[in-house]
Chain A
């Protein structure tokens, strides 16, 4: 990802590998928001998500030389973070996550909008938390992080048809949960 006038990922990676460790801060600022959002949605707990992202970024820094294609750094960082989240979930031996962060609400125009903002947030988070980790990850990468199926495959290691199926199933489950409430 290259912002206006900002150095390309590959250039920053080369800078870091050349000994300028402080340049890694550029990559943190660039990708931290998305990684935190992704981890928060996966783990349902902002503190656990912050831990997972911090550990992932430190790990990425220490293994930066193993990032064979710096132009795909974003996928690589999401992959590390996704793995860290899965490890975290595995340690908890449960898929029952407790979502607690309350993001702002978009306006709605139907019965859905009648619900209070916090109720909407809680409802969506509960529905997301009820999904399996694989479906939750696929849905969040596709719709919240806006990735293509190709990039999702690079992040998760799953095949594209598998990912499409997970996203479709996640949509069905979420829609069913949302309609249950507003019916």
Chain B
């Protein structure tokens, strides 16, 4: 392979009129253009039906930590509390607390092929943090984290199918950031060098 005349390169780049090329270069130009035309035919196949069928599939239902679970966690957190109760209220409060504490924790018990994923992120000043990933079709609105004590640490959990999941945090609704604590990352496949966090959920059945 030898370098081809710069005039031919210029003509192929649209910077020179190919009609001005010498005969030999004109033939080479025509040969390359003919080759391009051969390659320019559009395949008759279509993947439209297949793609639309795929994206119509229902998403994996993410079982988020419910209000009850957050309440239990809030109640279980050590804190200084001063109560001045009348005797009648004391009994009522004790009954209420017992009812809450005896409730099963997660709203959804993991099946044999599922596991519990916990997410923690430090986003001081954030108004909202949620998790999107391969388990919820990268859709917002299904897995919100909470920062009940306003210390900037956002937490949440979900029951997910066992296996490998890619995910990212969405902060304040529009800022997508990988989980700095994920430990493992994979290229997001969009070519800009960005990475998704990687989470491996072990099945409950496999846990000791």
CB distance from A5 to the nearest CB of B (A): 21
A28 to B49, CA, bound (A): 10
Asked if B3 lies at the interface with its beta carbon under 8 angstroms from chain A, I say yes
In Å, the complex CA distance between A144 and B41 comes to: 9
Whether B35 contacts A83 by the Cβ 8 Å rule is: no
Q: Which of B90-98, B106-114, B146-154, B186-194 contacts A (4 or more CB under 8 A)?
A: B186-194
Partner of A37, one of B40, B138, B176, B189: B40
Is A103 among interface residues, defined by CB-CB distance under 8 A? yes
Identify the interface centre among B9, B27, B190, B192: most chain A CB within 10 Å of its CB: B190
Inter-chain contact A33/B42, CB cutoff 8 Å: yes
Interface residues of A (CB under 8 A from B): 21-22, 24-25, 28-29, 32-34, 36-37, 40-41, 46, 49-50, 53-54, 57-59, 61-63, 65-66, 76, 79-80, 82-84, 87, 101, 103-106, 108-110, 112, 120-121, 124-125, 127-128, 140, 143-144, 155-157, 164, 168, 171-176, 178-179, 182
- With both chains docked as a complex, state the minimum distance between the C-beta of B51 and any C-beta of chain A, in angstroms: 5
| Contact indicator B138/A108 (Cβ below 8 Å) | no
Is A21's CB under 8 angstroms from B55's CB?
Answer: yes
Q: Which of B120-140 contact A (CB under 8 A)?
A: 137-140
Q: Could you list which residues of chain B lie within 8 angstroms of chain A, going by C-beta atoms?
A: 1-4, 8-9, 12-13, 27-28, 30-43, 45-48, 50-52, 54-56, 137-140, 176, 187-193
In the assembly, what is the distance between CA of A34 and CA of B34, in Å? 19
C-alpha spacing A161/B51, complex, angstroms: 36
C-alpha spacing A33/B36, complex, angstroms: 16
Query: Once the chains bind, are B39 and A144 in contact (CB under 8 Å)?
Result: yes
Smallest CB-CB separation from A76: which chain B residue?
A: B190
Contact in complex: B50, A84 (CB < 8 Å): no
24 example contacts (A-B, Cβ-Cβ < 8 A) are as follows A21-B56, A24-B51, A28-B52, A37-B43, A41-B39, A46-B45, A54-B54, A57-B51, A61-B55, A103-B39, A103-B41, A103-B42, A105-B37, A105-B38, A106-B34, A108-B30, A108-B34, A125-B39, A157-B191, A157-B192, A171-B32, A172-B3, A179-B28, A182-B31
Complex CA–CA separation, A33 to B130 (angstroms): 36
Q: How far is the CA of A108 from the CA of B190 in the complex (A)?
A: 40
A124 to B56, CA, bound (A): 39
